[in-house]
Chains A and B, each alone.
Chain A
Amino acid sequence: MADPVTTTPVLQLKNIRKSYGSGETESEILHGIDLRLERGEFAALIGPSGSGKSTLLNLIGLLDRPSGGQLFIDGQETGQLDDTGLTRLRGQRIGFVFQHHHLIPAFTALENVAMPLLVARGRPDADMFAQAGRLLDQVGLAERKQNLANQLSGGQQQRVAIARALAMSPSLVLADEPTGNLDTHSADDVFALLREVNTRLNTTFLIVTHDQRLAARCDRIIEMVDGNIVADRRHQAATN
């Protein structure tokens, strides 16, 4: 792993706060979060429900804006960006894998994977489908390219979602309970796939999970309680 001090971190949070409502009804969900993720890290974000994990993930994913503090993606400060700028940065640097896989049912597996490229380039081209095809090959779905999204099993859909998250070669992939909806066997497969992508492409992962077993297989475990990071442990994961 690269030296964390001298290289630009993929993600850096400085005193990030988030509150909802205003005046008397204002309630702060995140109370000043500091966090740094280096290139190639494979980190789990754990904590009980309501601890602010999802809120934090939305902020990191540039889907929402913090109420205070600074957020850097690949060294770029995001506070000054307008909605278009945030959207562009999100599209290029961040990949999402959601719990409910969230494919677009009107499109085939191949088209779903090519979607971020299509959104960015505006028009379809042969190159984007070739790339999407390679990604589907890598996640083991070479045979399912032309199936509509809702004709695939849960595990298969989640693999498509992972391929889609990688389409733009993002620096950071955010996964929100990526195995939450899958049986143990599929969950292990999907997790192994994430791990494989991480080692092969050196992509940074931040995985929100409830599953202690999965968390234990990550290189780093960040634990949140009541809007604060209470523990941040690095260790050599069991599977490596």
Chain B
Amino acid sequence: MKSWMPFEWIAAIRFLREGRMQSLLIIVGVGVGVAVIVFMSALLSGLQANLVKRTLSSQAHIVLLPPEEIARPQSSAAGVALRLQKQAQRLRSIDQWQQIQARLEALPEIAAISPIASGPAFVVRGDANKAITLLGIDPVRYSGVIALPERMVAGQLRVGAGEAVIGIELAKDLGADIGDKIRVTTAGDATETFTVTGLFDLGNKGVNARNVYVSLRSAQSLLDLVGGVSSIDISLHDIDEAERLASKIAAETGLTADSWIKTNAQFVTALTSQRVSSNVIRFFIGLSVAFGIASVLVVSVIQRAREIGILRAMGASQGQMLRIFLLQGGIVGFFGSLLGSGLAWTFLMLWRLMARNPDGTPMFIIGVDPWLVAIAAGGASLVGILSALLPARRAARLDPVVAIRG
């Protein structure tokens, strides 16, 4: 008997140890439940993080655009019928973009800012002729928003004067390789010839076939945006803040601010509903674990009615009896959660071995977050105590006279 342990703990542990088989079975039961919850949570968060990462590999978290142009009738003389036609948007620069950039840099939530001059163009090489999006970037700034340097498959990310970086799809379409020349023509009939210095693969076929990166200065002159930028790409430390921050920036600057959450609304909805359905499953697993613990303890209270009666006759209070059974629930929950976390860890290791890409690399990285284990342990202990509430009250209210005679 450990001298530091209160009476309630001693009795709870002895009772559990004495009903060895029952205790073991329910701990395994709790363990399986916890294992499923932990495994599912780890798998889901790994999967979602991976999906989001892939989706955002070629997208900024927030894109700032000039405000939309709206046509306003100059006069509205009475009796004149006016039909308003939605105005075509021309390529325009963001007003005062240097000041806006400086102000945004002061915001702590923002990780990187990259001004971009982009617009439609054609690229010509020999007989091949492709429509592209011309993007004028500052490579250092742009790398902070989109991990282009990591995505280079050939050459390097270098966009000096007369240099361009293109996607692998476009290179294939044009039959171009590092060192080859391509000619870019815009709708305004401006033309410039670039040398291909690098090929990238951003994991998205459309982007790989369309994006052509050149220096900010080249794009500005080709697109007739001298000194201006058409958008500002922003990356954040916390992607979940995108929507809130986008509204804030829009309100402060008067620009249109599109967050990735808005641009990928369907994707985000899919992620959310996945999360909701897994929460529902988790809830019902938790519920069945709770009923399991409660039913074992109810039986235990009936089996131990006589011992409860004796303890009461010896001066044990109702509170002490209540705590003995609550503790049993808590202990079962706690040890069940340890077992469950161990099981979940094993499952995840197996998963890592089995779920691999054809090239042998893991399909995606999932790990057991120590916090998840701590939460599972705390949660299972709490569920244990809560589910012991009913049996424990029953034990506490047991009439000692009846219990002893029983």
Contacts from A to B (Cβ < 8 Å)? 54, 58, 61, 63-64, 83-84, 87-88, 90-92, 96, 98, 102-107, 111, 115-116, 118-126, 164, 168
Q: Given A102-B306, A106-B17, A106-B18, is A122 in contact with B314 using a C-beta cutoff of 8 Å?
A: no
> Which residue, B1, B2, B311, B399, has most C-beta atoms of chain A within 10 A?
B1
Beta-carbon nearest neighbor of B4 in chain A:
A123
Cβ contacts B290-334/A at 8 Å (1 or 0 each): 000000000000000011011111111110100000000000000
Contact A119 B318 (CB under 8 A): no
Contact A96 B314 (CB under 8 A): yes
Contact A125 B3 (CB under 8 A): yes
Q: Given A64-B401, A104-B311, A119-B311, is A87 in contact with B316 using a C-beta cutoff of 8 Å?
A: yes
Cβ contacts B1-23/A at 8 Å (1 or 0 each): 11111110010001101100000
Bound Cα distance A126, B7 (Å): 14
Contact A124 B3 (CB under 8 A): yes
Contact B311 A122 (CB under 8 A): no
Contact B314 A91 (CB under 8 A): yes
Q: B136 at interface (Cβ–Cβ under 8 A)?
A: no
Beta-carbon nearest neighbor of A61 in chain B:
B313
Task: Give min CB distance, B186 to chain A, whole Å.
Answer: 85
Contact B310 A104 (CB under 8 A): yes
Bound Cα distance A54, B310 (Å): 16
Contact A116 B315 (CB under 8 A): yes
Between-chain CB contacts (< 8 Å), 25 pairs? A64-B399, A84-B317, A84-B318, A87-B312, A87-B317, A87-B318, A88-B315, A91-B314, A91-B316, A96-B313, A96-B314, A102-B309, A103-B310, A105-B18, A106-B17, A107-B14, A119-B7, A119-B315, A119-B320, A121-B7, A123-B7, A124-B5, A124-B10, A164-B314, A168-B315
Beta-carbon nearest neighbor of B405 in chain A:
A54
- Contact partners of A125 in chain B: CB under 8 A: 3
Bound Cα distance A98, B313 (Å): 11
Beta-carbon nearest neighbor of A96 in chain B:
B313
Task: Give min CB distance, A130 to chain B, whole Å.
Answer: 13
Task: Give min CB distance, A143 to chain B, whole Å.
Answer: 20
- Contact partners of B312 in chain A: CB under 8 A: 63, 87
Beta-carbon nearest neighbor of B16 in chain A:
A106
Beta-carbon nearest neighbor of A174 in chain B:
B313
- Contact partners of B372 in chain A: CB under 8 A: none
Bound Cα distance A63, B404 (Å): 10
Q: B384 at interface (Cβ–Cβ under 8 A)?
A: no
